[in-house]
């Protein structure tokens, strides 16, 4: 069996009187506990007792020695069934928690996927907007170039018109023709 000494205490200057626990254990007992998992059964039993106490079960009453002939009437039978019931409830709650965590992870993954799609779409829209801006600049440049060419053509037309007028005047002067 297990043997140790447990001392519960609090510090005199602690106004809340927080209870501390000090356990003194022989080194060989601790070796067995750590290397051979000797503490697992005790830990489960202690947890079950604490759970039973938390739900209002009177542990002192259940553990008193009584001369009970029917095993179904023994206080430990009631204790075992309550422990089993609590273990079942804890397993169900753990499963519900895991299901909830899985659902949350799935939901987070769907949201991340949606966010990734939105980011990709945004990048495409930004690229398209950049392309539209480049095309608009090209159109503006072409319009400027076209306007300059038109001005040059208008200037050439005016110059040619002047030259034609001068040439016509020269021809009229030499031929003495009225037009």
> Residue 19 — φ and ψ, nearest 5°?
-80, 130
At 125 the pLDDT is 96
At 71 the pLDDT is 53
Whether the model clears a pTM of 0.95, i.e. scores above it, the answer is no
Residues 6+ apart with CB under 8 A from 7: 21, 22, 23, 24
At 127 the pLDDT is 96
Tokens at 78, concatenated: 């009631």
At 67 the pLDDT is 47
Contact 52, 79 (CB under 8 A): yes
At 126 the pLDDT is 95
Rounded Cα gap, residues 71 and 64, in angstroms: 15
Question: Within a 10 A sphere around the Cβ of 75, how many other Cβ atoms?
Answer: 16
At 41 the pLDDT is 66
pLDDT along the chain (179 residues), means of 10: 84 94 86 72 73 72 54 56 78 91 95 96 96 96 95 94 90 74
């Amino acid at each position: 069996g297990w043997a140790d000494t447990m001392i519960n205490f609090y510090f005199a200057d602690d106004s809340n009187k927080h209870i501390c626990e000090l356990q003194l254990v022989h080194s060989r007992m601790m070796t067995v506990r750590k290397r051979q998992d000797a503490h697992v059964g005790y830990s489960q039993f202690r947890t079950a007792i604490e759970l039973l106490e938390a739900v209002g079960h009177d542990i002192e009453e259940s553990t008193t020695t009584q001369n009970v002939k029917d095993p179904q009437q023994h206080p430990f039978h009631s204790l075992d069934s309550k422990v089993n019931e609590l273990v079942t409830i804890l397993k169900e709650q753990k499963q519900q928690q895991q299901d909830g965590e899985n659902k949350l992870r799935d939901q987070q993954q769907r949201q991340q996927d949606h966010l990734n799609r939105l980011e990709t779409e945004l990048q495409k829209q930004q690229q398209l907007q950049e392309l539209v801006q480049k095309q608009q600049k090209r159109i503006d440049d072409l319009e400027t170039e076209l306007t300059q060419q038109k001005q040059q053509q208008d200037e050439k037309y005016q110059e040619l018109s002047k030259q034609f007028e001068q040439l016509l005047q020269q021809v009229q002067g030499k031929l003495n023709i009225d037009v």
